[in-house]
A and B are shown apart, each in its own frame.
Chain A
Amino acid sequence: MKLQHIFNGTIIPLVIIPLMILGWTANTHLIDNSRTRTFSQLSEVSSELKQQIDQASHLARNNLDLLSSDFVVQQYALTKDDASRYSIYQRGLLERFSHHQQSSHQYEAVRYILPDGYEDARWTRTPSFKIDGSAKDQSWFKILSRSDSTYFHYLEKNHQNSEWIVHFYKALKLAERTSGRVKPAKKLRGYLSISLPLQWLLTDIKQLGENTELIIALADAAGKPLLINTGLDDNDQQSMRSHVLETGQQDTYFAIDSLQLKGVKHYVEVTPVLGKYFLLVASPANASVVFDETLSSKVATITALSMLATISLLFLLLHFSVIRPLHALESASEAVGRGAFDTVIKLNGGLELRRLAGSLNKMTHQLRKASEKISYAANHDSLTQLPNRRMFLHCLKQAVASAQRSNESMALLFLDVDNFKNINDSLGHDVGDLLLTQFSTRLCQSLREEDTIAHTTLPSEEDLVARLGGDEFTIILRHVASPENAEAVARRIVEKMIPPFSINKQKMYVSTSIGIALYPDDAQQVDELIKCADIAMYGAKNNGKNNFRFYQTHMHDLSDNRVELENELRFAIKHGEMSVHYQPQVAIQHNKVYGFEALLRWQHPQKGFISPDQFIPLAEEIGLIGELGQWVMRKSCRTAQQWREEGLSDFKMSVNVSMLQFAQQDMLTQVKDILNETGLPPEYLTIEVTETIAMTSQESTLRSLRAIQALGVSTALDDFGTGYSSLSHLRKMPVDILKIDRAFIVEAQQQASVRKIVHAIIQMAHALDLKVVAEGIESVDQINDLKEMNCNVVQGFYYSKALPETEAKAFYETQIKGKFKPQEELLDLGPALKTCRYFDTLNR
């Protein structure tokens, strides 16, 4: 069960129930209070009205007393003669009445009534001609005349204006005036009457009724409402009547009861007034109910609000001190579980929970440390401590995204250690590892020195050096304003690698090739960018290593095939798909084998024979040509040495060296190393360079060539005649042999002019003390002609195509056994011929 539910189920009822009981009690109490107030208000109005009526009644009696003691009135009353009264005294009497009324305005009429009921004199406030005549037959007068009491009153309805009037009477008992000693007895002379309109009396009632919805009524002893301040229908009047009757019989009139009037429950109070009348005051119960309702709603609102407030407060308390800390702990635990070890739990809850949080924080800290170790190991290269491929990819993605966001450029550098494979292979992995360590150190140093590159100290914003594996490194350069920035870094790296590395107290020279790809100019996607940098690196390698190169679009077009070929080439080299064939060269003047030209052959297991003109340019481009050339030279030298050791002597092994090899590699050292390595004497080796190379090469190439010559190695100029070589330039070239291009030889047979040129070339070469080798000899006529022109050596299918090692050796051995015969059957081998011819274009 959730804590929240436990809270809801127990605490909330614990709060609500007492509050509701409290609210209900208060409400009941307030309602009782308001009802009591209504009752007391009712009683107040009732008693006030009764008091008013009593006062008016009292005042009327006083006035009657006053009038009855008036001399004029008494004189009038004592005047027995009617005519005298009417003619002499009546005017005076009426003036008295009038004066009296002026002092108490509320009286409607003042009368003098004779004992027989005749209205003897009357003064009315409203002048009226009405003559009432005798009252002796009226029931009230019968009561009056029979009554012994001095005072009497009755209510009468004025039929003209429907107003109720109270008539107060006083019996006027006077003794006759006499001068005698015996005072005559008092006799009844008549009745003085004062008429008071009830309406006037109850003016206040009306006003009261208008303001308060009170129903005020005056009822007679029979309960018949005589005066009422509001309209009531017959039913209401009937119920009022019965109520008054019922109440009137009781001893106490002040009991408050309820009565249905006007269809609404009323609280009613009945009070006796004027002796035999009843004053009924009714207040609608709903007046207090309305009051009750507003009060109830107020109490309900207050109760509800306090419940809401209490519950909210408790809820908030629970929420903030327990639930939320628990949730925080829970989510923190989950976060830690997911690996967010930087999660720190901060709680505002109770001490216990804070302690728990503290323990959790400690645990998290430990976990983070362990996790960081693991993470570091997962993201870093154990050898160089540089970020590994995994981290590199992560960072690169971030860097690209960041650059994209800020609309900036960045550069990706790919680099590897030139010839690292050789180092690894020849000197062992331990040396290789040490080298990589130092290499990476220099790499980082070269990067950190540049302040302009690393703009910011934020780890994610720093330039990043990573080791992808083997000798492959990458550098992410952020905020590259222009390609020159990346170029500066690349150049500095290349320069940084120039000083020799000291591995196990041995000096070692290592270079690096760098490919640079720019975001977003070269690629927008991470994968693309990596590919571009990779391609550019191989571009740099093709360019002779120890340099850098920016990615260019055309590189990419070749890249697919190139990668495949590169892999296949490497594979081919490693798995012996590559082989070297040797084409015999014959010294025609002596008709003996002069030497062999080493030519590269690739027998692909699936694709079969692959033409050199397909893979040689690619090998040049991807930078494999150096390796491949070196391999051919080493193989050729080793074969030649082997042949020597097997008894063959006095022959030349010609190896083609391309211009790229000269540019990228230290050819002299290489040649020396290979001769040392194979033990072949230098005079057995001939280095062939193309005329084009010779003509365009810089002084360094020539110097290198000369040094090689100095070793005792012969040098040959291949394909002579195809370039625009001048003979004067030829003089400077450190070459010993001139090889005339096949095209000249073929055309010389058909055109006499060409034959003259060939002849001139041969003569000129001899003049320069150069041997001449003619290529592409396919017929005996050509041999005879070249013999005639004093050409030294020929090679071509007339004698032999390029032969595998053993066959080539056999060819040489036949010469020892006897004269070798040209392989005429080979002339028909079109495809093979073609292949060989193309192969011969290798170094062109």
Chain B
Amino acid sequence: MSKLQGLSTALLTVLCLNLSWADAAGDNTLVMLTWPDYMDPTLLDKFRRQHGIQVKEVFFNSDDDRDKVIAATNGAGFDVMIVNGGMLSSYREQQWLAAIPKPRPKHLRRRYARYDEAFPEGINYAVPVLWGTLGIAYRSDLLPLGIARWSELFNPAPNLQGKVSLSNTSREVVGMALKSLGYSSSSSEPEHLNEVAELLHEQNPHVYQYDYLSLDPNSGLLSGEVSAGMAYSGDAINMQDHNPHVRFVLPQEGAEIWVDYLVVFSASLKKDLAWKFINFLNEPRNAASWSLFSKSATPNPQAQQFLPKEFLQHPAIYPDTKTLAKSELVRPLEPRVLNQFNAIYDPLPRLLER
């Protein structure tokens, strides 16, 4: 986290000094805010080759980091950004997002009723590109009996104590904790919230980090410092390349379903290029390529034809309907509930630091 924070701080400083990343990057360069190891680099090469436009990646490790950067700049200097569906309304509210041009580019014409319903703020402003679940990644060699429930993570057995990794997003941590108690991850019931606060407080001493697992070889999960942790399905599968003992499970209480969108900053000076880039990525072949690279499902039905069968049947990537039924889409919370989530979560990392 500190490394990323350092990055974002450095980024912030650079932005403040130069006012515009784009100015520094040149006219043919797009700046994209994205997760690390998420974007398929071959697509960026392909895009540059086809369109002569270079895409510069700026990574964020959590939504909060990303938001802080944008809050400081109102998005100035950035062009394209990966953002999950839950954040769209706020971003819209802040007028940070540029509308999809009309007429829509060729590959952006498809509408996704399910997502429009879930995140109506994204209609005309954001393009869903990947989806997945938030489950538990663990080391089968360190936990021979495996792990099947959120409650096992939030109420860790002795062999798991001190080896639990969570997330730096209050929505995820408090939400999954609510799920582990059998409540909705969006519950605003004060009793539920009090109960979950208590649970998290009790779990606190056994937590290794309130931070998202890093995906590089130095990751705590790979080194064994973490036995189990919250993880996005794609990240967990990717980490299996480093260590075959890494397993991903969708907890029995149900997982959280996330949907990542691509958006263009209203502050961007290269909105056309940006939309061109998004259009490029949404081409079925490219979308399939990205899906394969990120080990995440693609919402693009045309892309699925280019995906291997085993990929499409991978239970972690395409969970069965039964499991998925218990899962929820990451819906925006009522603001003051979110504030309460924040209030519950906020002390936790500081407590651990002590």
Contacts and interface: CB of A to CB of B under 8 A. Distances in A.
A652 interface: no
B339 A86 contact: yes
A129 B68 CA distance: 23
A86 B332 contact: no
Contact of B336 (A79, A118, A123): A118
Contact of B71 (A81, A89, A124, A127): A89
Given A127-B348, A129-B344, A131-B193, A85 B201 contact: no
Contact of B339 (A72, A81, A92, A120): A120
A131 B191 CA distance: 12
Contact of A81 (B86, B93, B351): B93
Contacts of A94: 346
B211 interface: no
B349 to A, nearest CB: 9
Nearest to B190: A131
B347 interface: yes
Contacts of A389: none
B350 A127 contact: yes
Contact of A84 (B68, B93, B333): B93
A777 to B, nearest CB: 170
Interface in A35-65: none
A83 interface: yes
B335 A85 contact: yes
B335 A122 contact: no
A131 B340 CA distance: 7
B201 A129 contact: yes
A83 B351 CA distance: 26
A81 B94 contact: yes
B348 A83 contact: no
A128 B345 CA distance: 10
Interface residues of A, number: 26
Nearest to B204: A127
B338 interface: yes
Contacts of B93: 81, 83-84
B193 A81 contact: no
B64 A83 contact: no
Nearest to A126: B347
Given A83-B93, A86-B339, A127 B347 contact: yes
A159 B67 CA distance: 37
A129 B335 contact: no
B67 A88 contact: yes
A83 B338 contact: yes
B342 interface: yes
Contacts of B198: 129
A746 B55 CA distance: 205
B323 interface: no
Contacts of A82: 335-336, 339
B67 A83 contact: no
A90 interface: yes
A91 interface: yes
A131 B89 CA distance: 25
A94 B346 CA distance: 9
A87 interface: yes
A87 B67 contact: yes
A127 B94 contact: no
B10 interface: no
B87 A87 contact: yes
B71 A75 contact: yes
A84 B339 CA distance: 10
Contacts of A118: 336
A348 B90 CA distance: 118
Nearest to A120: B339
B335 A88 contact: no
Given A83-B89, A84-B93, A91 B347 contact: no
B338 A86 contact: yes
A81 B335 CA distance: 8
B342 A90 contact: yes
Contacts of B7: none
Interface in B166-193: 171, 190, 193
B344 A88 contact: no
B336 A122 contact: no
Contacts of A88: 67, 70-71, 87, 90-91, 94
Interface string A10-44: 00000000000000000000000000000000000
B71 A92 contact: yes
B237 interface: no
Interface string B188-206: 0010011001101100000
A127 B91 CA distance: 29
Contacts of A128: 347
Contacts of B332: 83, 87
B94 A91 contact: no
A79 B71 CA distance: 11
A87 B71 contact: no
Contacts of A92: 67-68, 71-72
A342 B197 CA distance: 119
B143 interface: no
B73 to A, nearest CB: 11
Contacts of B68: 91-92
Contacts of A75: 71
A84 B343 contact: no
Contacts of A120: 339
Q: Which of A72, A85, A88 has the most C-beta atoms of chain B within 10 angstroms of its own C-beta?
A: A88
A379 to B, nearest CB: 121
B344 A81 contact: no
Contacts of A87: 63, 67, 86-87, 90, 171, 332, 338
Q: Which of A72, A86, A92, A123 has the most C-beta atoms of chain B within 10 angstroms of its own C-beta?
A: A86
Q: Which of A91, A92, A124, A128 has the most C-beta atoms of chain B within 10 angstroms of its own C-beta?
A: A91
B211 to A, nearest CB: 14
B348 A84 contact: no
A90 B339 contact: yes
A366 to B, nearest CB: 115
Contact of B343 (A72, A83, A91, A122): A122
A85 B336 CA distance: 10
Contacts of A122: 343
A341 to B, nearest CB: 111
A84 B336 contact: no
Contact of A91 (B64, B87, B201, B348): B64
Contacts of B90: 81, 83-84, 87-88
Interface in B308-354: 332-333, 335-336, 338-340, 342-344, 346-348, 350-351, 354
Closest 10 CB pairs of A and B: A127-B347, A82-B335, A129-B197, A81-B93, A84-B90, A83-B335, A86-B338, A88-B67, A86-B339, A127-B351
Given A84-B90, A87-B90, 11 more contacts: A83-B89, A83-B335, A83-B338, A86-B335, A86-B338, A88-B70, A88-B90, A91-B342, A122-B343, A131-B193, A131-B343
12 contacts: A83-B338, A84-B90, A84-B94, A86-B339, A86-B342, A88-B91, A91-B64, A91-B342, A94-B346, A129-B201, A129-B343, A131-B344
